[in-house]
Structures are given as structure tokens and as C-alpha cells.
Amino acid sequence: MNKEGRKRVGDRLSPTETGSRDVQSAAQSERLRERKEVKSMENDLSLVAFEKHKIRRIYDEQKEIWYFSIIDVVGALTDSVNPRDYWFRMKVRVRTEDGLELSTICRQLKMRAPDGKMRKTDTADVQGLLRIIQSIPSPKAEPFKQWLAKVGYERIQDMSDPARSLDRAREYWQRHGRSEKWIQQRMMGQETRNKLTDYWKDHKIKGEDEYAILTNIIHLEWSGISVGKHKEIKQLKTQNLRDHMSEAELIFTALAELSTRQIAQSVDATGMTENAKAGKRGGKIAKKARLELEQNTGKSVVTGENFLPPSSIRKELKGHDDEHR
């Protein structure tokens, strides 16, 4: 080693350094997984259904307005096999008959296309869509207006009344067959998680990458496996891990994160190094509780069980999707 403390090529790394690299590699892998997970969640939030038709939308945070895909709306109202062509001919007709340029009430925004790529498409807000609907002769027009009045303003209502957002989440889990006890634990766990990330945000933890690293440290400490490995055991890909946890897994995750926050607060942990130490200490508290429970029950808390539909149903759904691409 020279004066600057650099190692020569071929020098063997110490166990501490090797472990550090392993943690960095695991964290990098987990960041990629979380980005995919976020994209999946964004896809879910940006799709709403009118009858059997899926309609893409995107929320403008600054203007607090939803913009909807006009092509999707046209397809829903007309059942046209080529809604893009219908929209093009409709713009020409309205311009000729009414002298109105519908393009002036539209915005071109990027939305995810059927091939998975982000492409620009015509969109309109609620008021713009109401004008466009006037030029579409369809028996679905009135039901669509009522539907639009609901979904077009739900984000604004949720922001002004957080209880609405919680109610919507509860209804979502109920529709997907979760028990009341599971739903309660999932929502309590999310509240605990939010308090922890709020603390991190106020104590110099920046961006998704650092959040993912700290989350993985806590998870690895209490469960003995990384977030990525846990998802692999549950056969998850882009799905949210917590949405497929058992009641026990949710409880121990919440205990680890609650302990982490309270320990961090007690020492005013700031920055990655100090919060990583707090994460290890918080995770260790949940680990001790997990090991004691497993010793008394003879059952592992970490499980491969999930809430995915049976493989036969997944194959049917995939085949159905392939037919309609």
C-alpha cells in the first residue's frame, strides 16, 4: 500500500470491504427493482376503466388537472376498430362544419403505448373532453359524462381530504379479496413507513437511491434476506412486495421501521452513515422478535406465499392480452 493508502492490483480485499461491495451491489440491484416497481405503480394509477375500456390519463401536478387520452375516449364511446382514424376524420369534419379547430383544446403528452414505449398522443382535460363528446354521436355520451365527473376530479378531492384516499385504498384491497385484518395492518404499516421516510427527507437522505439502500439494510437485518431475494422467494417481478406480505411479515416490517425511526430520532441521525447504523439497530430489534416467535411456533415468518392469481389463471390472462395487442 502506498502513502495514499491505495491497494495494488491483486491485493485481497478484507472481509469488511468485500461485505461493503456486496451491500453496494445488492443495493444497486434493488434500486433497479424499485424503479421497475414504481413504473408498474404509475401504470396502475394512470389507467382508469369506463365499462370494459381502459383509458390512459396523466396528472399535471402544477395545474392539478387530469389529462385523458382522446384516442382511448373515442374508442370507448364509438367501439371503433380504428379510433385513431375516427379522431382524425372527426377533427376534419368539425373544422369544416363548425369552423372549430379541436386541436386547440388538446395537448400532446407522452403516454405509454401498447408496445410499452412512451409516445406523444392527443390529450384533453375534463372541459376539453366535454366539448369533444358533443361531436360524437353515441348512446354512451351521458354515462361517460357522469363517469368523467367522478374520475376527473378524484385526485384533487383526495389531496384536500386525505381520508378519501384511505377509503379508496381500503376499497381496492377489499375488491382483491384481502381480509379486514390484513388491510388494517397494511395501512398501519404504510403510515409507519411514511413517518420514517419523512424523517429521512428532513435529515439529508436524498432521492430514491438512498431510500432504497436504507430500506434494504433494515429489511436484510430483520428478515435475514434482501428485499430482492424476498421478492424472488414470493415469485414477484414488478409487483410491490408489501402488497404480497403475510400479516406477520407486515408486522415485523413495521416493527423494524418504527424502531429505526425512534432510534434515529433519539440520536438525531443525519446523513447516510448515521441512518444506516440506526437502520441496523432497528432491524435487529425486529430480528430478535422474529427469531423468538419462530422458536416458539416452529414456523418461518418469511414465506413464499403471495396473493398472485393461480398460474393457470395468469396464463389465461396473458393469452388474452396477447390476442388483443
In the chain, the number of structural domains is 2
β-sheet bridge partners, residue 123: 69, 107
**Is the pTM higher than 0.85?**
no
The secondary structure of 263-316 as a DSSP string is HHHHHT--HHHHHHHHHHHHHHHHHHHHHHHHHHHS--SS-----PPPHHHHHH
Residues 104 and 207 both lie in one domain: no
Residues 37 and 71 both lie in one domain: no
| Residue 2 domain-assigned (yes or no) | no
Residues 286 and 197 both lie in one domain: yes
Q: Mapped to the 3 state alphabet, what secondary structure does 140-186 carry?
A: CHHHHHHHHHHHCCHHHHHHHCHHHHHHHHHHHHHHCCCCHHHHHHH
- Owning domain of residue 54: 47-160
Q: Which of 132, 160, 188 is the last residue of a domain?
A: 160
- Between the CA of residue 53 and those of 82, 113, 121, 131, 144, what are the distances in Å? 14, 15, 17, 20, 11
- Alpha-carbon distance of 308 to 318, in angstroms, equals 13
- Alpha-carbon distance of 287 to 238, in angstroms, equals 26
Helix 126-133 / helix 70-78 crossing angle, nearest 10 deg: 40
First to last CA, the chain: 60
181 neighbors 174 (Cβ within 8 angstroms):
no
Residues 138 and 225 both lie in one domain: no
- pLDDT for 161: 58
Residues 25 and 53 both lie in one domain: no
Residues 217 and 104 both lie in one domain: no
| Residue 322 domain-assigned (yes or no) | no
Render each residue's pLDDT in the chain as its tens digit; 325 residues. 333 333 333 444 444 444 555 555 555 655 555 454 444 444 444 667 788 888 998 888 777 788 999 999 999 999 899 999 999 999 999 988 888 889 889 999 998 888 888 899 999 998 899 899 989 999 998 888 888 877 766 654 555 555 666 777 788 788 888 999 999 999 999 899 989 999 999 999 987 789 999 999 999 999 999 999 999 999 998 788 998 999 999 999 999 999 999 999 999 999 999 999 999 999 999 999 999 999 999 999 999 999 988 763 344 434 434 433 3
- pLDDT for 308: 87
- pLDDT for 157: 55
Residues 134 and 52 both lie in one domain: yes
| Residue 174 domain-assigned (yes or no) | no
- pLDDT for 309: 81
Q: Which of 158, 143, 148 is nearest to 128 (CA)?
A: 148
Which position has the grid cell 493508502? Answer: 5
Residues 127 and 192 both lie in one domain: no
- pLDDT for 49: 77
- Alpha-carbon distance of 324 to 114, in angstroms, equals 10
Residues 107 and 186 both lie in one domain: no
| Residue 226 domain-assigned (yes or no) | yes
Residues 243 and 145 both lie in one domain: no
| Residue 1 domain-assigned (yes or no) | no
Residues 194 and 271 both lie in one domain: yes
| Residue 324 domain-assigned (yes or no) | no
- Alpha-carbon distance of 30 to 216, in angstroms, equals 8
Residues 209 and 279 both lie in one domain: yes
| Residue 5 domain-assigned (yes or no) | no
| Residue 169 domain-assigned (yes or no) | no
- Between the CA of residue 185 and those of 98, 192, 247, 321, what are the distances in Å? 57, 10, 7, 33
Q: Which of 263, 260, 252, 261 is nearest to 291 (CA)?
A: 252
205 neighbors 191 (Cβ within 8 angstroms):
no
